[in-house]
C-alpha cells in the first residue's frame, strides 16, 4: 500500500492504516491466525510461556524530535524483548497497541512499524496483532510472549557469596539522552545508543545455562535494578566503581555537561543491559563482566558506602 506522503491517520482511516501496518510484519509457522481476526492464534509447544507488557508515552519515554519513528519502533521492541531476555528466554510473538492523535502522519506509524519489525527480526520474533485508536498523545503498548528452554531465572534467587555481573553496554544511552536534553546531537555514538539500543539478546539464555541465580534487565537504572534484585532476594549488593572503564564519549559528555560520567553508568537505563548474579567468578560466562558482590544484609552500596546520586528513573 502506498500512502500519500503527507497523509495523517485521519486521512487514511483505521482500517487503511491497519492494512498498511500489517504489510510490515512477517509471520512464522507457529502463527495459525495473524492480524485481522478477533484474536491471533498461536501453536504453542508444551512448556513455559513468558509474558510481559510495557507502555511508552510520547514526551515521557520518547520525543518525536529526538528520535525517528523507526528509532522509536526499534526501542519499543527492544524494551519488550529485553524483558524476556531478562528471564533467560527469547521473545517469540508480540502485539502492539498504538493510541495516537488523528493528525499523526500515517508515515510515522508505518516507519515505527518497520523499525519495530526490524528489531523483532534480531531474535526471530513476529508481530501477531494489535489495536489502533485515537488519543491526545502517542501511547505505545507492547505485549511480548516468549519461551524459555530451561527454568526461567527470576530476580529472587541471588545468594550471599554470589558475584554480580553485567552484560551489554551500560550508560551509553543515558549519555545520549543527556546530550539530546541539552539540545546537542553528539557524541553521535551515544545518541545512536539511545535511539537504537543493542540489548545483549544472546546473553539471557547464556546466563541461565551458566547457572545464574538472579537475572534482570537494566531499564530503570543500574543501581535501581540492583535494588530490585536485593529486595526480591533478601540480600545486600555492592557495586564497585573500579569495575567499569568509563568509555571515552561518556568522559566527553561529563566534561561538557559538568557531570560525573560514572552517574550515567550507575543510574542509566535504556541500554537494556543485563544484570545477573552467579554462584562464583568461575561460573560467569563469556560476555559478562563482574561488577560487584552479593552479601548477607539488605540494600545497595557503591564501593561499600551508601550512594547519594540518582539511582534511576521514577515513574510518578
Q: Which of residues 91-110 bind a second copy (CB under 8 A)?
A: 93, 95-99, 102
Question: 42 or 236, CB closer to a second copy?
Answer: 42
d(CA 73, CA 107): 13
Residue 27 touches a second copy, criterion: CB under 8 A: no
- Smallest distance, Å, CB 100 to a second copy? 9
- Residue 272 phi/psi, 5-degree rounding, is 60, 40
Judged by CB under 8 A, the residue of 232, 256, 293, 295 near a second copy is 232
| Distance, CA of 237 to CA of 159 (rounded, Å) | 10
Looking at the Cβ atoms of 14 and 260, the one nearer to a second copy is: 14
Give helix 172-181 / helix 248-257 axis angle, nearest 10°.
30
Q: Can you tell me which of 73, 105, 129, 247 binds a second copy, judged by CB under 8 A?
A: 129
Residues that constitute the known binding site for Mg(2+): 38, 52-54, 83, 131, 217, 220
DSSP state letters, 240-282:
-GGG----HHHHHHHHHHT--HHHHHHH--SS--EEEEESSGG
- Asked whether position 78 contacts a second copy by CB under 8 A, the answer is no
* Cβ closest to a second copy, residue 127 vs residue 174: 127
In whole angstroms, give the CA distance from residue 116 to residue 29: 20
Write down the least CB distance from residue 20 to a second copy, Å.
13
Query: How many residues in the chain?
Result: 316
**Contacts (CB under 8 A) with a second copy, residues 133-152:** 133-137, 139, 141, 143-146, 148, 152
Beta bridge partners of 134: 100
Closer residue to a second copy, CB minimum distance, 43 or 182: 43
Per-residue x/- track, 199-218, a second copy (CB under 8 A):
----------------xxx-
Decide whether 177 or 179 has the Cβ nearer to a second copy: 177
The C-alpha atoms of residue 71 and residue 29 are separated, in whole angstroms, by: 28
What binding mask, one character per residue, do residues 43-62 give for a second copy by CB under 8 A, x or -?
Answer: xxxxxxxxxxxxx-x--xx-
Rounded CA separation 241/301 (Å): 11
Amino acid at each position: 500500500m502506498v500512502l500519500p506522503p503527507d497523509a495523517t491517520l485521519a486521512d487514511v482511516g483505521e482500517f487503511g492504516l491497519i492494512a498498511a501496518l500489517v504489510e510490515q510484519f512477517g509471520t512464522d509457522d507457529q502463527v495459525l491466525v495473524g492480524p485481522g481476526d478477533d484474536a491471533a492464534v498461536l501453536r504453542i509447544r508444551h512448556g513455559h510461556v513468558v509474558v510481559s507488557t510495557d507502555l511508552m508515552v510520547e514526551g515521557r519515554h520518547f520525543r518525536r524530535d529526538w528520535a525517528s519513528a523507526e528509532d522509536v519502533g526499534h526501542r519499543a521492541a527492544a524494551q519488550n524483548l529485553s524483558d524476556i531476555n531478562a528471564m533467560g528466554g527469547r521473545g517469540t510473538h508480540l502485539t502492539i497497541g498504538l493510541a495516537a492523535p488523528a493528525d499523526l502522519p500515517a508515515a510515522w506509524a508505518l516507519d515505527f512499524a518497520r523499525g519495530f519489525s526490524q528489531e523483532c527480526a534480531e531474535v526471530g520474533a513476529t508481530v501477531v496483532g494489535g489495536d489502533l485508536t485515537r488519543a491526545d498523545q502517542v501511547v505505545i503498548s507492547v505485549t511480548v510472549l516468549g519461551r524459555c528452554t530451561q527454568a526461567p531465572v527470576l530476580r529472587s534467587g541471588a545468594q550471599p557469596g554470589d558475584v554480580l555481573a553485567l552484560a551489554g553496554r551500560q550508560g551509553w544511552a543515558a549519555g545520549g539522552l543527556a546530550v539530546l536534553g541539552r539540545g546537542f546531537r553528539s557524541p553521535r555514538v551515544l545518541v545512536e545508543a539511545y535511539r537504537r539500543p543493542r540489548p545483549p539478546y544472546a546473553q539471557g539464555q547464556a546466563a541461565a545455562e551458566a547457572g545464574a541465580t538472579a537475572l534482570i534487565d537494566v531499564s530503570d537504572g543500574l543501581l535501581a535494578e540492583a535494588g530490585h534484585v536485593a529486595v526480591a532476594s533478601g540480600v545486600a549488593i555492592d557495586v564497585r566503581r573500579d569495575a567499569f572503564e568509563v568509555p571515552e564519549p561518556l568522559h566527553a559528555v561529563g566534561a561538557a555537561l559538568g557531570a560525573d560520567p560514572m552517574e550515567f553508568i550507575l543510574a542509566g537505563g535504556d541500554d537494556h543491559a543485563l544484570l545477573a548474579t552467579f554462584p562464583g567468578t568461575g561460573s560467569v560466562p563469556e560476555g559478562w563482566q563482574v561488577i560487584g558482590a552479593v552479601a548477607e544484609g539488605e540494600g545497595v552500596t557503591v564501593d561499600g558506602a551508601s550512594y547519594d546520586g540518582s539511582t534511576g528513573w521514577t515513574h510518578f
